[in-house]
Amino acid sequence: MKRRGSVLIGSAFVALAALAFAAPRVVAADKIDPATEAKAFRNYFTAKFPKVKLDDFVNGPYSMNADMRKQWVEKEEFPPYEFAVDAGKEMFAKPFKNGKTYADCFPNGGVGIRQNYPHFDAKEGKVVTLELALNRCREANGEAPYSYVKDEMASLTAYMAFTSRGKPFDIRIPDDPRALEAYENGKRYFYTRRGQLNFSCASCHVQSPGERIRAEILAPALGILNAMPIYRSEWNGMGTISRRFVTCNSQTRAVPLEPQSDEYRDLEYFLSYVSNGLPIAGPGARP
């Protein structure tokens, strides 16, 4: 085994962590049971951090470090993401050249729906994320798509998340083998080691939440997407879910995938589903 910072990199712990919720997932020889897996996933984290209230996991490291929580509470009085919410609200309401707006593309005019994304599109046979849906809306109305990792997309999703604050994640996996496959693919990506450092997503966010890697306190995987998009001090700005996935791959010295690739969409599907019931807390702020 070897260490990087305070994070133990070894196969034994991750295997045990995976076993904690992977073992009961099969209720028949060929039957995937995401609901059972999600319950076991939640139980793993609540057992690991018994003093953290379930809904508080959405606050990441601030839920498990008293000093950081105090700083966060103070920061929330003048949140650094506020400018993005305001910009996103203005962008959301501004008509396209054809006179339509984003509200024409979404249920309930796009207000209070963040908790329903990503969802599985039966017609397409793939997962559709909120970021992807926003760009498809733009293209359907004759507008150029935004970058998935830049400020415009971060602002739009910040505003939409803000309108859903407090609403619980409600991600559905329909009775469709393609949806189950997407969920399984997302889970597989989450636990697969890659890059020069031989890290998986789980190495940090299942094995070592609450510990430090360099100057950062690692967040638990449970509820990790509920606070997205986020303002990060290291970015000096906002970041989307796509930006976070790309950055994580880069930090492990793996080759990042294209934003909104099938793998990243399936990963978002898995992480969102296992956090079902936890409230939307985005946009958020992190060091």
- Of 196, 217, 282, 230, nearest to 6 by C-alpha is 217
- Of 132, 121, 130, 201, nearest to 169 by C-alpha is 130
State phi, psi for 105 to the nearest 5 degrees. Answer: -100, -10
Ramachandran bin of 285, using left for φ above 0, alpha for ψ from -120 to 50, beta for the remaining angles:
beta
Q: Are 157 and 110 a contacting pair, CB within 8 Å?
A: no
Establish whether 105 is a catalytic residue: no
Cβ within 8 Å of residue 81, ≥6 positions away: 158, 229, 230, 231, 238, 283, 284, 285
Question: What secondary structure does DSSP assign to 52-116, as a single string?
Answer: S-GGGGGGGGGGT-HHHHHHHHHHTTS-TTHHHHHHHHHHHHS--TTS--GGGGSGGGGSS-GGG
Q: Measure the CA–CA gap between 249 and 86, rounded to whole angstroms.
A: 30
Tokens for 63? 């839920």
Which amino acid, residue 29? A
For residue 237, give Cα distances in angstroms to 83, 233, 268: 10, 7, 22
**∠ Cα 60 245 57 (to 5°):** 15
Strands 126-128 and 119-121, by their bridges, are antiparallel
Catalytic pick from 105, 137, 204, 248?
Answer: 248
Write out the catalytic residue numbers. Answer: 248
